Chain A
């Protein structure tokens, strides 16, 4: 198939969409958009349009990243820039059709920004608004802009030109391009991608495999999901290029079963690419063969580890294997195998789609390019972001994220999921790159960035992560299997007010031992959240142990509820809500909580009408004190 012909067709379709005579609605319909009600908006649009006199198109696109503003709808009308609206409701859609499409009156309410020339109407450019300005979208550039189910949209936006470029060069040349770009693995550890590829390419073996790790297991991360849902062809292109470079003719995408939409879009994209000979045998007439299969993960965090993932594809329990030999030498069915993360492979496609030097001009000396993050937790603007390496945490949280929710105090930022650590608020001026984060005791990880405020208890957070690691430990090696269990038990004691000061040393010793003695990355990093919280939030642990207080009022045994005498009107609502009958008092009389009976579920606080706000929670334990 002639790529030039494909590009010509695709560009015509794309330009007709953006410059043609027919207006169009683009609705963000990835998982986040759907959860916020995008499905209803699409339905409404379709009924309105079919009953109205206007000819109009409705397209479903991926996630543009501003999840807190979902559902997001963009409107195109000939002669106007693309106008992007947030928090759109069904009634707004009717207004847009009536006012804008029929009369050309722009509704200014809920506009996020516009894309394209807009001198005459003077609205903010989407990419200059505070949330977008510090971002640089090299990887996510298509997400939310193109229809992920339309191959032509991808091709019209440089799609598959990277593959064409690669196939015109030797495979060694492709690896050299990667080396020049400075790309390091985006799955967490940051190993230079080209070096890994070179190991595999140099193996003298007829059968080699490429695996894409899309088993995004880190709780609090969804970068890969958004990419797969919003721009699946980028991954396919990156994989064909990688397969060509290392000499593999078979690739697997190992994707979580919890991502039904991502799987659906991926499978569709594969069949489209095969149909146009961008995948399969004799790709674009080059004589190169590369086939792709999707494997659904079955829910095991440890399968994010290379050798466990390989075992899982082979149909085994996902248990890691000792390294060496490294998978690049002996991996899937003992053949040389390269495992790359989704973002790494999409970056590969972009690097080849652009001129040399394009990728490496972003970032820092050691960490080139950009990194995507799932910015979540107690931050105003939650969503998917992409920033140049070296951007500080402060810029991410305050400039892009808009600061902490509800005017609360920032306490910590967690990066790297269960393998990472918590960076305290005092250190948020550190730049985000592999080395700086490591120095702070955490890791880059795949891109989860969870913001925590004064209402989060760091001991509870540490316990949450160790509980996770303990449950997900495959049980193969003793340090991880037994060590995480032991750390969890100690933390459970501390949050129950039964901890001792010696426990803190024990936690540290255990943590270091587990890191040294474990077989795979899961155990080697599992103690990180505990060790970093001990390092930066030691006072909070001591408060739990010595004063039996949870300052953030999270740990159940170290807080108590009281009814405020001057505010209680005796409305009796809390009395009825209490599941253990710990509240006494007759209607219209002052109510009281029996501390011995109270299980601290917080039901009374939730149910107490806001106009009274007569229930307060305090750190400490009344029963233990007495």
Chain B
């Protein structure tokens, strides 16, 4: 078994109710949930594989493909929407050549929609890894993702 998983499992008792925290911890450590790790989790938590898969696919937080080095979360909250988030998303997609939900081939960027990052008063905004980029305009996006931008 992957050493990462051994480390994560050592923090838990292997009870069914711990399933979501285990999935979260594995994803935090490994970056995503592979089929192999989900099988190991099933064994560890004494639940059928189908249950692990069922729970993991229910929640938006879990991903089954690797994350990019820069993971972009596009806020799709109401405040962002009314202040032009769709246009921002389009601009980022144009710059990076990937669509929402995808990871670039070189694993540099990945992008997903999230419900709301709670920085509504600075809409429209995105979160790159743990940093919020606020009050975006297409021009600002260009600066962020162009060849010399900090998120390229």
Contact = CB atoms under 8 A, between A and B. Distances in A.
Interface of A: 31-32, 34-36, 67-68, 70, 216-222, 225, 256-260, 295-301, 312-319, 374-378, 382-384, 414, 417, 448, 450, 452, 456, 461, 464-465, 468, 472, 474, 579, 601-603, 606
Interface centre among A315, A378, A452, A468 (most CB of B within 10 A): A315
B72 interface: no
Contact of A222 (B76, B83, B118): B118
Interface of B: 16-21, 23-24, 54-55, 58-62, 73, 76-83, 87, 90, 94, 114-123, 125, 130-134, 138-139
Contact of A298 (B20, B82, B123, B132): B20
B115 A32 contact: no
30 contacts: A35-B133, A67-B121, A67-B122, A68-B121, A217-B115, A219-B78, A219-B80, A219-B116, A222-B119, A256-B118, A257-B24, A258-B73, A258-B115, A258-B116, A260-B130, A298-B24, A298-B61, A299-B60, A318-B58, A318-B59, A376-B121, A377-B123, A378-B82, A383-B121, A450-B82, A461-B82, A468-B115, A472-B115, A602-B87, A606-B138
A80 B18 CA distance: 53
Contacts of B139: 606
A442 B18 CA distance: 38
Nearest to A313: B17
Contact of A314 (B17, B59, B73, B116): B17
A592 B62 CA distance: 47
A450 B116 CA distance: 13
A257 B121 contact: no
Q: Which are the 6 A-B pairs with shortest beta-carbon distances?
A: A220-B78, A67-B121, A219-B77, A299-B60, A298-B59, A382-B121
Contact of A35 (B59, B60, B77, B122): B122
A34 B117 CA distance: 13
A261 B1 CA distance: 33
B18 A315 contact: yes
A72 to B, nearest CB: 12
Contacts of B123: 376-377, 382
A277 B11 CA distance: 26
Given A315-B19, A456-B82, A464-B81, A32 B121 contact: yes
Nearest to B127: A258
Contact of A378 (B17, B83, B119): B83
A200 B73 CA distance: 40
Contacts of A70: 122
Nearest to B15: A315
A32 B78 CA distance: 17
A452 B83 CA distance: 9
A67 B123 CA distance: 11
Nearest to A414: B78
Nearest to B90: A601
Contacts of A301: 115
A374 B120 contact: yes
A260 B73 CA distance: 14
A603 B87 CA distance: 9
Contacts of B59: 298-300, 318
B55 A316 contact: yes
Nearest to B134: A35
A382 B78 CA distance: 14
Contacts of A383: 121
Nearest to A601: B90
B79 A220 contact: yes
B82 A218 contact: no
A314 B122 CA distance: 35
Contact of A300 (B17, B58, B73, B94): B58
Contact of B58 (A35, A217, A258, A474): A474
Given A319-B58, A374-B120, 17 more contacts: A31-B132, A36-B134, A68-B121, A219-B76, A220-B77, A220-B78, A225-B118, A258-B114, A258-B117, A297-B61, A298-B23, A298-B60, A300-B59, A315-B55, A318-B58, A474-B58, A601-B90
Given A299-B60, A299-B115, A374-B120, A315 B24 contact: no
Contacts of A601: 90
A21 B131 CA distance: 36
A258 B21 CA distance: 15
B89 to A, nearest CB: 12
